[in-house]
Structure 1
Amino acid sequence: MNRREFVKTTSLLTLPVILKSCNWLATDINFDVKVSSDIGTGHLLLKSKDFPLQRISPVETLIVGGGISGMSAACKLKNNDFLLCELSDNLGGSSSADSFNGNFFSQGAHYDYAYPKNYGPEVLSLLEELNIIEFLPWTETWSFKDHQHLIKHRRKNQCYSDGNFRHDVIPNEEQKKQLINIMEPYIDEMVLPTRLIDPAYQHFNDISLLDFVTGKMPVDEGFIRGLDYYMKDDYGAGCKQVSALAGIHYFACRPYYSESVELFSPPEGNHYFIKKMKRFVGEEQLLTSHMISAINKSKNGFEVQIIDVKQQLIKVVQVKNIIYAGQKHALKYIYPEAAPLFRENTYAPWMVVNMVVSDSPLPAVGYWQNEMLTEDESFMGFVDSRSQQPTSNGQRILSAYYCLTPSLRTDLVNVENNKMKIAEVTIRRISEYFGVSVAEHVHKVFIKAMGHAMPIPSPGYLFKDKNNIRTEKNLVFAGVDNSRLPLLFEAIDSGITAVNLLKG
């Protein structure tokens, strides 16, 4: 059967085209589509000018942002006087999750690999304390304790391109072997966090990955397209935009091609780590739906204004220390003095489309990551929950990912108006993959739009920790957008480092 029989050519618009329109009217779907986004932040700031003020008790340390880095800082400050504020109504940031009929699914970062023994001991120690990992001396790696969330390697991934299936996004196997041979000398040298990488390799941060590779092997359009996919998947941009060091790290940070490396992917993705951290810290000092609107220096530290979104009031608090683990683009509104430190950051917007579908029309087994190369270069394919664990109620969750160019960030304001068209086009692409019409089996669709989801590690980005040149000793920065690779391990390390800096 021709898979393209399930596709209406007029509906296969690219996401960038859809987002350019204020409102698409034509659609065939009739189920509920829920959109989550922090796009309305600016409107909230304007509206909050009329909110009443309420002074609350002083706090020693304020953590701005409840993503992985902010929560890691909270773990290190357990039993200390601190308060964490997160704008969204759930913790997690770019590692958020949602649920339907009791089945959780990821709306952001969704996996990690077992850790080599030479990775940073501070992060490994915290993950061990959280009861997430354990050291296996016979493999000399840190393994995940919840084995039910390990993905079977034979079901790890499959690539669909131009109507055909293949094993890898790079079509030429010989070129892929050449690429791996080029990366082999750097295995064991590309550690995490990246601040521990030997300075002898840091010059790779100054050139693009494409320049590095083309200096060592011949490439063609198919190879570059596949390499672009790899880089966008982890770093938000193609091999021309990403530094060689970031690219080398992608292929050489673990012995992927000589050993079987554990792949850990719970149904809720990296929100699994957030839940563990939340349970470890306790909920009393973790405030969601609380947005930091202003930071002002004061005699004894800082006076901070916090918008309580649900109660529609502004809380004013005196704090001694601040760990800023939120998105750095917001500093120009909150604390303008620090905004210039992050002026050169470039972010990749991401969008996740989760589809809850009936399990019966789909194959009984599925691949975890279903990579798709289509005419829409922003579409990355989808993750199939069937490879993680069977869901209840005969339902299955297919989570599609879109990686957008930075220029499209402002167009995310149109997601709400275009949610039906986005859902329809995504469903048709996945129907083509399976060779089965999925549309009539969809129960609900969830869309998560993240305008600043991922800092792009372009040439020159790494090894410029802004904490080394910050203007205030008691205001430190955490997060992967502080000159780090956009990886879980880096985010955790940034939170730990921030706490250590405050402790001196």
Structure 2
Amino acid sequence: MNGPTRRRWLGGSLALAAGGALPGCTPQTSAGLPADLPVRWVGAWLERGHRLRERKAGGWPAPAVTRRAGALVLGGGVAGLSALRTLVRAGVDDAQLLELEDTVGGNARGHVLAGQGCPLGAHYLPVPGPTAHEVGEWLHEIGLLQWDGLRGASRPDERFLCHAPQERLFIDGAWQEGQLPSAAGRPATLDQYRRFARRVTEARRLGFALPTWRAPWTPAHAALDGQTFAAWLAAEGLDDARLRAYLDYACRDDYGAGLDTVSAWAGLHYFASRHGFDAPGEPAEADPGLFTWPEGNGWLTQRLAQPLSERLHTGQTVLAVEAHRQGVSVTVWNEAAGRVEAWQAPQAVLALPLFIAARVLVNPPPALVAAAAGARYAPWLVSNLALDEPPLARPGFPPAWDNVGFAPAGSTRCLGYVDATHQRLDPRPVPPVWTVYHALAEADRPALRDQPAAFWLQRVLADLAPLHPDLPRRLRAADLMRHGHAMRIPVPGTRGSAALAALRAMRGRLRFAHAELAGYSVFEEAFTLGRQAGQSSLSGGD
């Protein structure tokens, strides 16, 4: 691999992100699809997230009951679960977590379709490097990493590493191995691949890390953060169509937006924070691999959540949060009871997207207002398709775990699909379940909210038609998940934002913990921010 793809994508809970589950069996109009094909939205509740918009001028009714906790965590994504775990391990026995949805995990949740596990969001985690030591420590605890005394290093449990073949690209009418478009017979393309590889090597010497704040921030970083990736590439004379298509894919894959939108810092961070960029024919750095499961990173969030299950309160829509001298008061709508309730605690961790935190927090600090005002979010569509059998094979490389169709820079076509059945250890064949990923344009958000699942299924099938023309005949059911505000887009100025830095350093009754504080959304950032917020909360109030 030349860089992580759709890596660990996650987001906080309680976002105005997704639609409620709708009934299946939606009629279709396109040829090749049966009229009774089960198609539905799954995974989240639109009306819960939008409840904040329905606040009446007189405010909410008086709480029917008031509960108390030693500490509260608001939001059950990776950051929130990590914060709660930290508090509990430190001895805060009555720490509690409130989550809008009926299950925790945020954008790293799993699903089941046709009896097969599949992801609703993030679907893998690269073996962490040395700067992500908090994640590495936890992976040792749950057995994914094991110490090898003979080698003097950790080694991953190979049962959970992605099986081969790992990835392929459909280009020029056939499948090729890997996702970097072939430069065979294209000396100009190969030259630009090598030039970009040298620029990434220079960037690694400048300093990039995961979590990002573990690398020093210099004027050179600020200069990269002050321009788009596209502008930086143009200044470097890197204009080859195949290179730009790959880099645009990488940015949409990790950040939800293309190279014309994200900063040059973000574009280089994608490669320089891990194992660089390997130009064809040149020595490649060893890739330690990546962990993945049929249900994606839902496997990880289940391991985070299971020991904390008695402290997880789902179906709790946070309406208001207020910090005062005695502690923190939280007003929620209990979805199951259909009533307003209150919680009180000495301190709270807000593991929420910043635009939600700014909306629910009474008298939000100026840093939060500033950080939320400048935020842009990428909408995502994740579609799980149950097939009766694999579509007809196309020429070239055989089916892989990650399968991508070539698209030029600026395209909004799907990012490809992963085969949820790829990790099965049982050799007996089963009907495949594919998970298709779309990083949508921001302008698509209203349609994602308003159009039925069948409308979006048609777009999914249209995008996959060049790869698999017979796919509609193989389809037996489709469960679609919409994320209206899946991740913060690292536009120029995001990484160097003084407001985000102030929120990371804030003390008092409230702590903030969300991957968005790093300027983009990946597992390592969220887990570490959650742990740090939990640790700082142990000091109490002011």
Task: Give the alignment's TM-score, normalised by structure 2.
Answer: 0.80
The structural deviation recorded for 1:162 is: 6.0
The equivalences for 1:84-103 within 5 A come to: 84-103=97-116
4+ long deviations beyond 6 Å: 47-52, 137-141, 390-393
Q: CA distance change for structure 1 residues 217 and 136 in 2, over 3 Å: closer, same or farther?
A: farther
Q: Does 1:227 align with 2:234?
A: no
SS in structure 2 of the partner of residue 226 of structure 1: helix
What's the counterpart of residue 144 of structure 1? 156
Q: What is the rounded CA distance, in whole Å, between the counterparts of 1:362 and 1:386 in structure 2?
A: 17
Q: Deviations over 1:375-402 (max 9, x none)?
A: 8624111111243226888221111111
What's the counterpart of residue 413 of structure 1? 449
Aligned partner (choices 109, 117, 133) of residue 104 of structure 1: 117
What's the counterpart of residue 4 of structure 1? none
SS in structure 1 of the partner of residue 516 of structure 2: coil
What's the counterpart of residue 316 of structure 2? 290
What's the counterpart of residue 69 of structure 1? 79
Alpha carbons 1:366, 1:387 under 8 Å: kept: no
Q: Does 1:433 align with 2:467?
A: yes
Aligned partner (choices 213, 231, 234) of residue 195 of structure 1: 213
The structural deviation recorded for 1:238 is: 1.3
What's the counterpart of residue 442 of structure 1? 475
What's the counterpart of residue 300 of structure 2? 273
The equivalences for 1:454-473 within 5 A come to: 454-464=487-497, 466=500, 468=502, 473=508
What's the counterpart of residue 29 of structure 2? 26
Q: Deviations over 1:16-57 (max 9, x none)?
A: xxxxxxx99734343111203443235544399887832233
Identity over the aligned pairs, expressed in percent? 21
What's the counterpart of residue 309 of structure 1? 335
Aligned residue pairs total: 475
What's the counterpart of residue 16 of structure 1? none
SS in structure 2 of the partner of residue 199 of structure 1: coil
Alpha carbons 1:227, 1:239 under 8 Å: kept: yes
Relative to structure 2, which stretch is displaced further, 268-277 or 357-366? 357-366
Q: Does 1:182 align with 2:199?
A: yes
Alpha carbons 1:38, 1:450 under 8 Å: kept: no
Q: Which amino acid is 2:41 matched to?
A: V
What's the counterpart of residue 481 of structure 1? 516
Relative to structure 2, which stretch is displaced further, 176-185 or 485-494? 176-185
Q: Does 1:358 align with 2:388?
A: yes
Q: Deviations over 1:89-113 (max 9, x none)?
A: 1111111211124421111011121
The structural deviation recorded for 1:243 is: 1.8
SS in structure 1 of the partner of residue 519 of structure 2: coil
Q: What is the rounded CA distance, in whole Å, between the counterparts of 1:388 and 1:184 in structure 2?
A: 33
The structural deviation recorded for 1:347 is: 0.8
Structure with a larger share of its residues in strand: 1
What's the counterpart of residue 122 of structure 1? 134
The structural deviation recorded for 1:450 is: 0.4
Q: What is the rounded CA distance, in whole Å, between the counterparts of 2:445 and 2:228 in structure 1?
A: 23
The structural deviation recorded for 1:268 is: 1.1
SS in structure 2 of the partner of residue 219 of structure 1: coil
Q: Does 1:370 align with 2:388?
A: no
Alpha carbons 2:86, 2:531 under 8 Å: kept: yes
Q: Deviations over 1:96-133 (max 9, x none)?
A: 2111244211110111211223x133332233233332
Q: What is the rounded CA distance, in whole Å, between the counterparts of 2:385 and 2:439 in structure 1?
A: 18
Aligned partner (choices 35, 59, 65) of residue 55 of structure 1: 65
Q: CA distance change for structure 1 residues 337 and 409 in 2, over 3 Å: closer, same or farther?
A: farther
The equivalences for 1:2-21 within 5 A come to: none
Q: Which amino acid is 2:169 matched to?
A: C
SS in structure 2 of the partner of residue 379 of structure 1: coil
Q: What is the rounded CA distance, in whole Å, between the counterparts of 1:346 and 1:275 in structure 2?
A: 29
The structural deviation recorded for 1:316 is: 0.9
The structural deviation recorded for 1:245 is: 2.1
Q: CA distance change for structure 1 residues 133 and 374 in 2, over 3 Å: closer, same or farther?
A: same
Q: Deviations over 1:41-81 (max 9, x none)?
A: 35544399887832233112111111111111111112422
SS in structure 2 of the partner of residue 283 of structure 1: helix
What's the counterpart of residue 379 of structure 2? 349
| Structure 2: unaligned runs, 5 residues or longer | 1-25, 184-188, 279-284
Q: Which amino acid is 1:229 matched to?
A: Y
Q: What is the rounded CA distance, in whole Å, between the counterparts of 1:134 and 1:390 in structure 2?
A: 21
Alpha carbons 2:96, 2:312 under 8 Å: kept: yes
What's the counterpart of residue 396 of structure 1? 432
What's the counterpart of residue 228 of structure 2? 208
The structural deviation recorded for 1:239 is: 1.5
What's the counterpart of residue 418 of structure 2? 383
Alpha carbons 2:87, 2:535 under 8 Å: kept: no
Relative to structure 2, which stretch is displaced further, 59-68 or 27-36? 27-36
Q: What is the rounded CA distance, in whole Å, between the counterparts of 2:152 and 2:447 in structure 1?
A: 47
Q: Deviations over 1:112-171 (max 9, x none)?
A: 211223x133332233233332345777765433x222124x512111246443443445
What's the counterpart of residue 325 of structure 1? 351
| Structure 1: unaligned runs, 5 residues or longer | 1-22
Q: Which amino acid is 1:266 matched to?
A: W
Q: What is the rounded CA distance, in whole Å, between the counterparts of 1:247 and 1:137 in structure 2?
A: 37
Q: CA distance change for structure 1 residues 387 and 42 in 2, over 3 Å: closer, same or farther?
A: closer
Q: CA distance change for structure 1 residues 215 and 261 in 2, over 3 Å: closer, same or farther?
A: farther
Q: CA distance change for structure 1 residues 138 and 369 in 2, over 3 Å: closer, same or farther?
A: farther
The structural deviation recorded for 1:449 is: 0.4
Alpha carbons 1:169, 1:229 under 8 Å: kept: no
What's the counterpart of residue 146 of structure 2? 134
Q: CA distance change for structure 1 residues 85 and 398 in 2, over 3 Å: closer, same or farther?
A: same
